[in-house]
Structure 1
């Protein structure tokens, strides 16, 4: 939070390897002295939000464990006095604080709080309702299947659920301007066969922006536990829309949101849409402030918007005579801060490349107010720092470092021994690779073993943002190459769509060309123990292809939750991926513009998408499993037992297939399976064990 007393309240996550837990620290930092005025560990806090005035704070808190777990909604003032506390344990399930559903905020009058929680599940013994199937929201959202919007009047302690009459789940809600009875939210829908597709990192889902109108009030229904609302869909069925934000300035209120095509690539180039909601709402008057970019006008020019799950909650800045939003976006192999005019959509980069080391990346805007904003920056070899940006009347930004992670002198020296650069790959424009090298090896022209580390997605990107795991590999004595192959975001929509229908060929060829270029330029060399691979998800898919299609090139590989057999999709939360990425039609659409729930005009019925023998044959040929008999590299598999994105059976099946073919060298294949871990293997113990084992695994072939 950025408040009027020139202070920043920040929360930092730290990893405690002794207890195998992640801990959260809260710091108040004075912008005048740049010193922390208070530091404390946050325990039991699920989510926090401040009122617009900064006078009030709401906390969603959980205490206890298992059957003794309790949930509370608390309101505090700036004097650390608790003004209201309500026990909501028996009213609903877990709080939602993830990026997709998080809605915690105050109303305009600061009387009401809105938040999202899991609907209370039936507990009656022998009740069939208790066992009724409800679809989950997929990977990383375990335990979340029936989100409900709740409204809390903290002065009367009345808590009501907001009921509606549409087949939609709502999140990312916020109040409209100057009123407590208007709410704008992102609505999540099923596909037309009632399949609920996973939403994490997938921005092509049937989603839209909706307006809620609340007809009731606490004075009219003081004992009610729910209020009925009328709803109106503001976006079109062929667009996947999310992250509503309301900007009010000079008597005008504008609703903003992110828009991408529904269906197709899960990470297409975004557009920024706007709608004037000052006096009334007319969806037909929606404007496109920033459109998708097919191809940058020239090298280094704006490639389009590539945003994370949502816009910053506090994104509005004002300088000169204009209003703007500030956000972070992928731009090539880095994240950068851009300023977007609400008048004409002009995009201005505030953190361009300077040509100086280190290469900086700016992954997040945390808060903005007036002409100031707080953001995060890092480089590949330096941890995240908090920065304060301030715009002058000419639109020039000045920067002030307000928090830096403390490191030991020994660790800082080791990180400083690495150098980072972005290397274009000849004849592959705009493909490039991030190269991490040892300065000492460069000085004596020593060629170290090279690890190629392709990112997942495939419609994501690797950037020069700080990466502890990659630094670890480099400090173990390797050169690390991280290619942004065709399909990667940050280079224009043309580069993304180039991969559709060519997964397993174009992306594989691009990775091989990046390796050959490094060999040709003396950065890497061929031979036993010289070229290695690490990849997860689609990066694991690529690594599996590379060791199968080029068995004489790579000596060893480590694969995290890899896609091995594309035709085997039964438990994946993103079944459309296995069709769309390989140019097999998987149509998606959402409810129509203007839908209110009273119309029978629902989405067109599309037959269920089945993997027919013909489809399976095509997908099999595009899969790493088709080349398993060619693999000679040693292979380490790391599998999350609770992965909902790529079935654990993919990695497990690959392990057994390799074992069956390696009767003469069984020790060249190994698998670690982590109970309770999902697709990212991001648990403290799982992450530590994985990377330590990878280092040991590669040491077997490089020493």
Structure 2
């Protein structure tokens, strides 16, 4: 049953981060981290290797598994490396913070009792050295009340999907003077009036100052889900450490020669709590994220509050000396032409992202541009934008992901396409901000896998007179018209991009054409096309998905008829798939839906993003107090949902569901399953994956989902 090709492709390492370890103009020493699916152990492993580049050669060390290392960071000088490490011990877990100078252990602190799990997510986690390189700041889960504490049963909201176990994100400061003298302190923000702002994404701007992102709860006490949502009430803050903490950072000593220690009485775990003054730096009318410090300036991204959950971002900078603030690059609503720069569609700024030329410093940042991911340079002087990733020849369909810069002229990226696996590429930037690229490495494939991928072709197909509707189409070598699998994206404000996707490549190898649809509301075309879908979900997006299928038939890529049209979709794409098989019951032959939205009115009261249910299906400003729908509003949202049309479905429906989904709770799929069973017109099957969340990205859940989908379609396909 298991597809050998799928397993081989899915087990290829995916580049996740990198760090330049030297500043030599001739050679580059780079530490590269990759994520690898291990199907035997059903886990994802993190691998590290060192790549040595010279003008004449590239050398790579053997990969080393770092399962117990959850996060690492290199100091500004490149001489120190910090690790957040978690080790299994006697059936439990022990946590350590370590600092290494080459092969010498500079400092170590066991923090098992000081706090719970380290944070490694993209929204709160951090690991930053002070300029003195004698202190670190990181984020971890604060300890819950003890058994004797009367507050141990008090309700504390979690942070939503992917962060269900996170309730008390806390910044911790580690200071050291020697291996035996490392001191840990929790940072307690001092705010007037007292507030429930939660801090993360912290970075030092000076030995006494930390810049962080602060997340606020909604007026009804909710912590609205932050995963995939750039519209939350978040700001950039400056945290000022008190004198005794800054003295320790500067390694000051008392007259006896002993290291200075804060006067706060230490707890039994040798940690303290330090109160820090806080100042908001970003506007209260924007949602700010990803603060970074470069050349005496703070830069960050911002989006609008409320409304669409993702969209175009603005780039800001603030001078640390003068305090002057400037919006370097604004949100772009409507590009001058369909192919012009559409604005920044970026989740974060890399920790080391500066590139320098004769015209001054620029920020390298990854963004979505149409159906591709690309890397641009944004001048920190005037905000001018230069795309540095090529779009000609073999690269016209490739997507690029930024991994790191060396702070000068070199940029490290990964590059892939629907038919080429990821490769590591190094770019050198000239004074005109043009890049010359060199491939450093690419994972080897078996002869059969390489032959299969080489026989495929991919293209971006636009639908005339329906901008920005387009599809990423991947086809096999057959001259006939194989069955076509439509794959819209979820969100709806995300995008299908041309990165390599093992599941889609393996589906093409099974004899299908795959069409990954980007409808109105997708990223990469300006903010106006994001907002155009608001209030029209379930109408415009469904109509455009069907139009994309019809267009492929019209231009001879696909056929209509029994066994010729299929759908794969998750979340909002599951919503689209469920609508499509109901509205066009004789057009689509089967669908596979992952954690689909099927009853928006019911979902509004149980999801971690209740505001989504209102902004997508009505005016963005019409969000009820307490996010509770009135009976009339509930009925309207239900009427716009696929569950209301379930009686029309005839195509077989496969449901793939995670029981730990906080975004689209599994009650949605269960209701749809039983409704289909009750009407008895469509075959339905559901698989439930314990512990799996919204994206079903557990290794076993991904494999089983692919296998079940392949078999589900094979039962009805007519080649």
TM-superposed CA distance for 1:412, in Å, is 0.8
Of 44, 64, 71, the residue aligned with 2:68 is 44
Of 624, 638, 657, the residue aligned with 1:639 is 657
Matched, 1:375 2:413: yes
Matched, 1:120 2:143: yes
TM-superposed CA distance for 1:352, in Å, is 3.6
Q: How many Å separate the matches in 2 of 1:81 and 1:486?
A: 55
8 Å contact kept, 1:190–1:196: yes
Match of 1:324 in 2: 362
The 3-state SS of whatever aligns with 1:73 is strand
Of 514, 524, 528, the residue aligned with 1:480 is 514
TM-superposed CA distance for 1:393, in Å, is 2.4
Q: How many Å separate the matches in 1 of 2:301 and 2:622?
A: 21
Q: How many Å separate the matches in 1 of 2:456 and 2:136?
A: 48
Matched, 1:425 2:460: no
Q: How many Å separate the matches in 2 of 1:625 and 1:519?
A: 29
Q: How many Å separate the matches in 2 of 1:460 and 1:678?
A: 18
Q: How many Å separate the matches in 1 of 2:39 and 2:396?
A: 29
TM-superposed CA distance for 1:357, in Å, is 5.9
Match of 2:15 in 1: none
Q: How many Å separate the matches in 2 of 1:645 and 1:550?
A: 27
8 Å contact kept, 1:24–1:41: yes
Match of 2:379 in 1: 341
8 Å contact kept, 1:431–1:485: yes
TM-superposed CA distance for 1:220, in Å, is 5.8
The 3-state SS of whatever aligns with 2:63 is strand
Q: How many Å separate the matches in 1 of 2:225 and 2:384?
A: 33
The 3-state SS of whatever aligns with 2:138 is strand
Match of 1:602 in 2: none
Match of 2:125 in 1: 102
The 3-state SS of whatever aligns with 2:492 is coil
8 Å contact kept, 2:386–2:433: no
Match of 2:304 in 1: 261
State the aligned residue count: 666
1:569-588 equivalence runs, <5 A: 569=603, 570-585=605-620
1:658-695, CA deviations, whole angstroms, 9 ceiling, x for partnerless residues? Answer: 01111x66xx2100000100000001111000101100
8 Å contact kept, 1:533–1:558: yes
Q: How many Å separate the matches in 2 of 1:275 and 1:587?
A: 34
Q: How many Å separate the matches in 2 of 1:509 and 1:191?
A: 34
Of 181, 203, 222, the residue aligned with 1:174 is 203
Of 657, 671, 681, the residue aligned with 2:675 is 657
Of 342, 346, 365, the residue aligned with 1:303 is 342
1:619-661, CA deviations, whole angstroms, 9 ceiling, x for partnerless residues? Answer: 1121111110110110000000000000101011100000111
Of 245, 265, 268, the residue aligned with 2:292 is 245
Of 88, 93, 101, the residue aligned with 1:77 is 101
TM-superposed CA distance for 1:358, in Å, is 6.5
Q: How many Å separate the matches in 1 of 2:142 and 2:350?
A: 27
Q: How many Å separate the matches in 2 of 1:30 and 1:41?
A: 19
> TM-score, length-normalised on structure 1?
0.92
Of 192, 197, 221, the residue aligned with 2:262 is 221
Of 75, 79, 84, the residue aligned with 1:60 is 84
TM-superposed CA distance for 1:416, in Å, is 1.0
Q: How many Å separate the matches in 1 of 2:485 and 2:314?
A: 35
1:301-355, CA deviations, whole angstroms, 9 ceiling, x for partnerless residues? Answer: 10111002x1111111111241101011000000001000001100111114214
Of 367-376 and 579-588, deviating more is: 579-588
Give structure 2 stretches of 5+ with no counterpart.
1-18, 249-259, 267-271
Of 371-380 and 108-117, deviating more is: 371-380
Of 607-616 and 310-319, deviating more is: 607-616
Q: How many Å separate the matches in 2 of 1:364 and 1:477?
A: 33
Q: How many Å separate the matches in 2 of 1:431 and 1:59?
A: 45
The 3-state SS of whatever aligns with 2:453 is helix
Matched, 1:146 2:168: yes
Q: How many Å separate the matches in 2 of 1:117 and 1:47?
A: 12
Matched, 1:395 2:433: yes
> TM-score, length-normalised on structure 2?
0.90
Matched, 1:684 2:699: yes
Q: How many Å separate the matches in 2 of 1:633 and 1:65?
A: 51
8 Å contact kept, 1:313–1:367: no
1:562-595, CA deviations, whole angstroms, 9 ceiling, x for partnerless residues? Answer: 000000122211111001111245579xxxxxxx
TM-superposed CA distance for 1:374, in Å, is 1.1
RMSD: 1.6
Match of 2:523 in 1: 489
Q: How many Å separate the matches in 2 of 1:163 and 1:538?
A: 39
TM-superposed CA distance for 1:280, in Å, is 4.4
TM-superposed CA distance for 1:160, in Å, is 0.6
Of 198, 205, 210, the residue aligned with 2:237 is 210
TM-superposed CA distance for 1:75, in Å, is 0.9
Q: How many Å separate the matches in 2 of 1:430 and 1:656?
A: 37
Of 98, 109, 134, the residue aligned with 1:111 is 134
Of 395-404 and 87-96, deviating more is: 395-404
Of 626, 643, 648, the residue aligned with 2:644 is 626
The 3-state SS of whatever aligns with 1:164 is strand
Match of 1:235 in 2: 282
TM-superposed CA distance for 1:366, in Å, is 3.0
TM-superposed CA distance for 1:86, in Å, is 0.8
TM-superposed CA distance for 1:356, in Å, is 3.5
1:60-107, CA deviations, whole angstroms, 9 ceiling, x for partnerless residues? Answer: 1001168621000111011x1112111110110000111111210110
